[in-house]
Amino acid sequence: MNKNYMVSLIAVIVLFLIAYVGTQQGAGLQVLFGIIVPYLAIILFVVGFARRVMGWSRSAVPFRITTTCGQQSSLPWFKQAKIDNPSSTLAVIIRMFLEIVCFRSLFRNTRMRLSGGTRMTHQMELFLWIGALAFHYAFFAVVVRHLRFFTEPVPIFVTLLEQVDGFMRIEVLYDIVQAGLPGVYMSGLVLLAAVLYLFLRRVFIPQVRYISLAADFFPLFLIVGIALSGIFMRYFAKVDIVAIKELTMGLVTFRPSVPEGVSAVFFAHMFLVSILLAYFPFSKLMHLGGVFLSPTRNMTGNTRQVRHVNPWNYPVKVHTYDEYEDDFREKMVEAGLPVVKMPEEQA
């Protein structure tokens, strides 16, 4: 038991239940959870995101703190690691692109171990990298796929992704268990598996558990809740898709309405998504914007070719030694102190 993840888990369950109970027949909060909360969440997300990034844009960037992962540009006969220690803007762009789409810095993750009791070794540790790649790409696919509820007609890139995502056709038809209809999307299952792995990693690896806070567990549980409720609605307790699209299309065309026949699980699903959006700008999830501004990755490592002047240096009022001597030359000579210019020369 650990209060960090128990608090997060209970928070997500309570949030789910609030929306689930609030939209039951009779409770009548459909307008709140179907229209008001999603709009507020989107506003909070966009405004909060912009404020956070503009705040970062005002912060100081004093000097090149590029992480050098290879030979710096030097004398012509040294082979430069052009991407890992970039000296041109193009190389920086390539480095940033690979960092953002391939998570190269996670790939470098190592684990320290004592081998034979005394010798320290560094071993490759790729599971975090694999888990993160699976999670982020699955999440991205899920988000793009959901555009089918927010566009009419549905654009070609969404339908293409749906076809690729539904490539594996898994249909289980026994008398007791029937699953796999409508067509199974891989991304949803990969997302759930990856987020569960990322959670279990935080629980079972002692060092990672020690540094994990409620702010790390809460988004994980939130995403578990979103994925579970989505999978539940798609494959198990099927919902009226047309009514749901009517609601979501009402939101994006600013003609909001709550049609008949939208189930409470859907409202709970959408409430958790709204919470995720609203929570986003105030949380560690801002690494979505932050990764572009990582100063160790987005700067050229050209400290030996270019002189970098501290950008907020202001003109300091100085009184040089020459001026000091001009002020006190006669007195210095009288006192027998050495001077650079003799008074006779000045005359």
Binding site for other proteins (CB under 8 A): 45-46, 49-50, 53-54, 56-61, 147-148, 150-155, 158-159, 162-163, 171, 173, 178, 181-182, 238-243, 245-246, 249, 252-253, 255, 259, 261, 289, 292-293, 311
- Tell me how far apart the alpha carbons of residues 93 and 84 are, in angstroms, rounded to a whole number: 11
Q: Interhelix angle for 37-57 vs 264-279, to 10°?
A: 20
DSSP-derived secondary structure letter, 312? T
Q: 209 or 245, CB closer to other proteins?
A: 245
Residue listed under structure tokens 């998570």: 103
Q: If you search the block for the tokens 């038991």, which residue do you land on?
A: 1
Count other Cβ atoms within 10 Å, centred on residue 310: 9
As measured in angstroms, the least distance from the Cβ of 139 to other proteins is 14
Q: What is the token pair recorded at 144?
A: 């793009």
Shortest distance, CB of residue 82 to other proteins, whole angstroms?
22
Residue written as token pair 């960090």: 4
Angle at 187 between CA 153 and CA 234, to 5 degrees: 65
Rounded to whole angstroms, how far apart are CA atoms 69 and 186? 36
Dihedral in degrees, nearest 10, Cα atoms 235, 217, 290, 306: -130
Least distance in Å: CB of 150 to other proteins?
4
Nearest to other proteins of 80, 295 (CB atom): 295
Secondary structure element (H or E) that encloses residue 172, with its range: strand 172-173
Q: Which is nearer to other proteins, 146 or 304 (CB)?
A: 146
Considering the complex, what minimum distance in angstroms separates the CB of residue 123 from other proteins?
37
Which C-beta is closer to other proteins: that of 7 or that of 286?
Answer: 286
Q: Which is nearer to other proteins, 153 or 338 (CB)?
A: 153
Q: Minimal distance in Å, beta carbon 105 to other proteins?
A: 20
Which CB atom, from 46 or from 200, has the smaller least distance to other proteins? 46
The minimum distance between CB 254 and other proteins, in angstroms, equals 8
CB–CB of 208/202 below 8 Å?
A: yes
